[in-house]
Amino acid sequence: MKPILEINRLYKNFGGLEALKDISFEINPLEIIGLIGPNGAGKTTLFNCVAGLEKPSSGEILFTNNSRTVSIGGKKPESVTSLGIARTFQNIRLFDNLTVIDNVKIGQHCRTRTMFLGAVVRTPGQQEEERLVTDKANQFLEFVGLAGRGQEIASSMPYGNQRRLEIARALATEPRLLMLDEPAAGMNPQESRDLMALIRRIRDKGITILLIEHDMKVVMGVCERVVVINHGQWLAEGKPQDVQNNPKVIEAYLGKGAASAASA
């Protein structure tokens, strides 16, 4: 089966800075892949290149959905989302002034079509679409554990709920691939466990997951494969336990000499 996402020899330069250098790896459908590496390794830059917020300097990114393969490097972010890739943000980007349910409804934007005339005249088609959007939004809220909170203002919620809301919104775009950027940041152990369960439930719904994460418990607990990058370059790849014991990886995180100390 063809990989859902293929990254081939991806480079990204910012002026003189090489943020990504010759990165290549694949994600197969329904995998849960972890992308790890020290701070500044280029993980979010990679996300941005896939999601369309940055344009790769060279290399290609191939996304396969429903047997159609599309090269998405350099595409605009709206197109990438329409094609079926959703992402969340390291620093949570919610629509602060809107209600929880409106936030999720906006996720449905790329799957709906009504414009000005429909909004004003309220054709039966528009009403049906709104009903569908509302129902789906409520389902997504329930799925992430925010049922009944639809009318709260997004920015008034506690941090953990805000993260869940962002995931609900991303799910509302009906993606095939979901990219989570440090979803466990700032969570306590119980919340992290809930998050891991949620991630598995998302995968069970047929969505492939790529996640950037620093919390190793989460990475070990939920990822089937881990890709390690450092200084913008691919460093290692494999099952979590194998990567954890890889001396190059240890060295990347802890510095030289730590590898021998760790194996001692």
Partner 1 sequence: MFLQQLVNGLTIGGIYAMIAVGYTMIYGVIQLINFAHGEIYMLGAFFAFTFITFLGLPFYAAFLLSMLCCAVCGMLLDIVAYRPLRQSPRLAALITAIGMSIFLQNLAMVIWGSRPKPFPHGAVPAYFENKAVTFGDVSLSWFHLFIFAITIVMMVGLNLIIQKTKWGKAMRAVAQNKTMAALTGINVNRVISYTFALAGSLGGAAGILVGAYYNSLYPTMGYIAGVKAFAAAVLGGIGSVPGAMLGGVVLGVAEAFGAGYLSSLYRDGISYGVMITVIVLIPAGLFGKIIKETKKSM
Partner 2 sequence: MGKWFPTKFRRGDIIRIGVFALALVVPFLPFVSDYLLHIVVLVFLYMILALGLNIVPGFNGLLDLGYVGFYGIGAYTSGLLTVHFGLSFWIIVPLAFMNGAIWGILLGAPTLRLTGDYFAIVTFGFSELVVLLITNEIWLTRGPLGLPGIDPVSIDLSLFGGPKWELVGELPYYYLALFLVLVTVFVMYRIQDSRLGRAWFAIRDDEVAAVSCGINLLAYKVIAFAISAAFGAVGGAFFARWVTFLSPDMFKFWESFLILCMIVLGGMGNIWGVMVGAFVLVSMSEILRELLPLLGLPVEVRFLAFGLIMVLMMRFRPAGLMPIPAVASRMKAGRVKRKKVKVAVGMKK
Where does this chain bind partner 1 (CB under 8 A)? 44, 48, 53-54, 89-91, 181
Please report how close the Cβ of residue 127 comes to partner 1 at its closest, in angstroms.
35
Q: CA-CA distance, 67 to 249, in Å (whole number)? A: 35
Residue range at the interface with partner 2 (CB under 8 A); choices 5-13, 31-39, 93-101, 245-253: 93-101
3-state secondary structure of 154: helix
Q: Pick from 167, 182, 225: which is nearest to 31 by CA?
A: 225
Nearer CB in complex with partner 2: 103/230: 103
DSSP state of 65: E
CB 185 within 8 A of CB 90: yes
Q: Two tokens at 173?
A: 């775009």
Q: Does 153 bind partner 2 (CB under 8 A)?
A: yes
Helices (H) and strands (E) in the chain, counts: 11, 10
Nearer CB in complex with partner 2: 178/236: 178
Q: Does 97 bind partner 2 (CB under 8 A)?
A: yes
Nearer CB in complex with partner 2: 126/208: 126
Nearer CB in complex with partner 1: 74/255: 74
Beta carbons within 8 Å of 203's beta carbon, 6+ residues apart: 30, 32, 209
Please report how close the Cβ of residue 39 comes to partner 1 at its closest, in angstroms.
13
Beta carbons within 8 Å of 177's beta carbon, 6+ residues apart: 4, 5, 27, 63, 84, 85, 86, 207, 208, 209, 210
Q: Residues 48-87: x/- map of binding to partner 2 (CB under 8 A)? A: ---x-x----------------------xxx--xx---xx
Q: Residues in the site for partner 2, rule: CB under 8 A?
A: 51, 53, 76-78, 81-82, 86-87, 89, 93-99, 102, 105-107, 109-116, 118-120, 122, 126-127, 129-130, 133, 153, 155-156, 169-170, 173
